[in-house]
Amino acid sequence: MYHAKLDQFPNDFLWGSASAAYQVEGAWNEDGKGPSVWDNFVRIPGKTFKGTDGNVAVDHYHRYKEDVALMAEMGLKAYRFSVSWSRIFPAGKGEINEAGIQFYENLIDELLRHQIEPIVTLYHWDLPQALQDEYGGWESREIIEDFNNYCVALFERFKDKVNYWVTLNEQNVFISHGYEQASHPPGVRDRKRMYEANHIANLANAKAIQSFRQIILNGKIGPSFAYGPAYAYTSNPEDVLAAENAEDFNSHWWLDVYGWGEYPKTVWKYLEKYDLAPTMEAGDEALLKAGKPDFMGVNYYQTATFTASPLDEEFVNAKENHDGKKGNFVENGNAGLFKRKRNEALETTNWDWEIDPTGLRIGLRRITSRYGLPVLVTENGLGEFDKLEENDVINDDYRIEYIRKHIEQLQAAIADGVDLLGYCTWSFTDLLSWLNGYQKRYGFVYVDRDELNEKELRRIRKKSFYWYKDVIWSNGDRL
Ligand code: BGP
């Protein structure tokens, strides 16, 4: 394999880990917090694995000091977490709920006390239910102002403490799952509405960045995109074209808007033809262009491999794997454009996710070449079953191996010329997986609870904890 001469990781490289409010905090109705769309969605029978919810999650809300102490012990340089909008504004707007914002201030202060850089995600999917009820959430342009006011409240409050900000987490995921596959709130299946909501989310994203520029002069802000670089299944030009289609429809459709303020022409033309293109109003284009980020946040888990698909192809709805029993993969795609295939060169996790460290390098290079922006890896990690053995031992060698191979590719990407700001693994402690319960674990720290029993929520260091500690200590020299 070709390797450029490897460079060292920069001295200020952000070795981090990430989480999201709904997946760790719990305390779902405490200190004045309003309900979010996830608080309600999880209560619909059949939506989540064994009906799990985040009412308690891993109780980070009450145990954040213990969690930050573990981060400090590990030597973590950065912690990415999200703010729950309905803690700050219980009804999505109006008066700030002081107790809610105080929680985040305490968390930030605790991190800073331990020299851990906070990376604040403004939106990781838990929309205030009140805004969903009032005007349909992301389907109304009213959200642009409400989201902006919420962001501004956080910028003002934390401008002297927080340097790194993430706007929307995985807009591509919450929009497609929310409005096409109906597996996330609001559980809609309507592509027309999906493209409209997505456009509004783009505008909200750009507006928040525009406001940021007026309030925080030295900080950095960007979205986090779930990037699955597309591969062609064979060298047959039809498959190569299918992969190009997939890259345009599944990635550039978002990335080009973030990076350039423009939609990719091929996709736009196609959507116009099928009467699916979103409504462009006067001023939209200018706003999108004004929302240029400082970095591209990348959540990377896997690549996706494509073959051509005939126009009359019919796809069955993919049955998703939420129980960790391998073998659920169903070919799916977009008739006439692309069809996803299993990549036979790659192994998969128990949840059928393809494992592809080189794909991370490829993705980072594509972003660098196309947009010329620095990149922050805001998520990457392995969801697996872990076994708590006698004497509180968890031998997660598979996780070490997974992360090691991805870090090697980061180093190669840096040598290739990628301006990489940092690497946040998903996740620090174990946490709630949105649709997969608690048994799909990602953390360096085991949390002793399962779907049916919260137990004591004890924190236990896994083998990977000590390993990542050493990686950070040696600034990536000792993998
Ligand atoms: C990303 C989300 C995270 C996290 C992760 C793992 O898409 O931003 O919130 O959940 O994926 O996914 P899962 O929990 O489905 O395994």
Per residue in 322-348, pLDDT (tens digit) is: 999 998 888 889 999 999 999 999 999
Nearest in space to 69 (alpha carbons), one of 428, 387, 422:
428
Ordered strands of the 230-232 beta sheet? 230-232, 304-307, 338-341, 332-334
438 lines ligand 1 (CB under 6 A): no
Please indicate whether residue 379 is annotated as part of the active site: yes
Paired strand residues for 339: 307, 333
Whether the bond between 185 and the residue before it is cis, its omega within 30 degrees of 0, is no
CA-to-CA separations, 58 to 61, 319, 429, 442, 463, in angstroms, rounded = 8, 28, 8, 13, 20
CB distance 299 to ligand 1 below 6 Å: yes
Pocket lining: 258 vs ligand 1, CB cutoff 6 Å: no
CA of 139 to the centre of ligand 1 (A): 23
The answer to whether 478 touches 471, Cβ cutoff 8 Å, is yes
- Distance in Å, CA 12 to ligand 1 centroid: 27
Query: Ligand 1, closest atom to CA 381?
Result: 6
Residue 74 has a pLDDT of 98
Say which of 25, 139, 247, 379 is annotated catalytic.
379
- Specify the residue for token string 């394999």: 1
Closest protein CA for atom 2 of ligand 1: 170
Ligand 1 midpoint to CA 379 (Å) = 9
Question: Ligand 1: does its nearest atom lie under 6 Å from the Cβ of 169?
Answer: yes
> Strand pairing of 338-341 and 304-307?
antiparallel
Q: How many Å lie between the centroid of ligand 1 and the Cα of residue 176? A: 14
| Residue stretches of the chain with pLDDT short of 50 | 1
For residue 312, the tally of other CB atoms under 10 A from its CB is 7
User: Which ligand 1 atom is at minimum distance from the Cα of 23?
Assistant: 9
Ligand 1, from 81, 323, 426, 451: best to mutate by most atoms within 8 Å of Cβ? 426
Q: How far apart are CA 302 and CA 307, in angstroms?
A: 17
Q: Which atom of ligand 1 is nearest to the CA of 169?
A: 8
DSSP string covering 382-427: --B----BGGGB---HHHHHHHHHHHHHHHHHHHHT--EEEEEEE-
Note whether ipTM > 0.95 here. yes
Kindly give the distance from the C-alpha atom of residue 127 to the centroid of ligand 1, in angstroms, as a whole number.
Answer: 17
Quote the distance between the C-alpha of residue 182 and its chain's center: 18
Cis peptide before 464 (omega within 30 of 0): no
434 lines ligand 1 (CB under 6 A): yes
Q: Is 226 in the pocket of ligand 1 (CB under 6 A)?
A: yes
Residue 24 beta carbon below 6 angstroms from any ligand 1 atom: no
With a 6 Å cutoff on the Cβ, whether 420 touches ligand 1 is no
Please list, residue by residue across 350-384, b when 16 or more beta carbons sit within 10 angstroms of its beta carbon and e when fewer do: bbbbbbbbbbbbbbbbbbbeebebbbbbbbbbbbb
What is the pLDDT at residue 463? 98
The contacts of residue 310 (CB under 8 Å, 6+ apart) are 335, 336
